[in-house]
Every structure is written in structure tokens, then in C-alpha cells.
Amino acid sequence: MSTVLAYLYAFLIGMCCVVMLAWIIIAARHGDYIESFFPTSIAVLNIKSLYAQAGTFGKVMRVLGIAVALTFRNVCPTKALLDKAECLAFPVRWRRLLVGLFIVHASVVTLLVLIYQLVGV
């Protein structure tokens, strides 16, 4: 393995750790606040009941589920997973934060897997 590749792996794994730390902080401090905007959405209620007893991991999964639903907010109301009015009432600042963090998370993990598959180390 070359030095450049090792630095790239270290950077991407470090980015994964930073993103996960950000998810943990957001979920621990603001998870209930974020969920309070979706009192009647089927997807949020199902995720909440599924991960209610899972502790911090459950809170992260619940906030991550909301972030995924907000990322695809045009698809979720048509599938009756989210209420369109609740999506529109969700604060823009929080939506940008959650969607942006989800996109960064997905991009870093995808790059890590692609580089691993292409290089084979």
C-alpha cells in the first residue's frame, strides 16, 4: 500500500468518525425536538417504536431515519410515509443540517467502499 493511499484511508475513516460523532451529538441533544415535528407521520412513528429501547444508538437511528426521509421528501409523502404539511413545517435550518450531514455521510462511506474495491487493499 502506498503512503498516499494510507493517508486517504486515514482521512476517510477520520471523516466517518467525525460524521458519526456529529450524529450522536445531534441525536442526544435534539432528537426529541426533531421528532416533535412529525407527530402523525407513519415512518417516524414506526422508527420511534422500533428503536425506543435502544438507547443512544436508537436515538441516532431515529434521527438518521428522519434525515433520510427529509432527503427524499418528494417521494415520502406520495408513499404516505410522511405528511406533506409536516415536511413543510419542519425548520429549514434543521432540514439543511440533517440532509447535508446525511449526504456527507453517504458520500464518505461510498468513497471508502469504492476505493477499497478498486484498489483491493
Model confidence over 40-54: pLDDT tens digits?
887 788 888 888 888
Q: Which three cell numbers stand for residue 114?
A: 469504492
Q: Count CA within 13 A, CB hemisphere, residue 31.
A: 23
Q: Tell me, what's the pLDDT at 79?
A: 63
Alpha-helical (H) ranges within the chain are 3-35, 42-50, 55-71, 84-89, 92-119
- The one-letter amino acid code at 25 reads I
Q: Quick check: 77 and 109 in contact, CB under 8 A?
A: no
Q: What is the maximum span of the chain, computed from C-alpha positions, in angstroms? A: 53
Q: Tell me, what's the pLDDT at 38?
A: 85
CB count within 10 Å of CB 85 equals 10
Per-residue pLDDT of the chain (121 residues; tens, 9 = 90+): 688 888 888 888 899 999 999 999 999 999 889 888 888 887 788 888 888 888 888 899 889 988 888 888 777 666 667 777 888 888 999 999 999 999 999 999 998 888 888 886 6
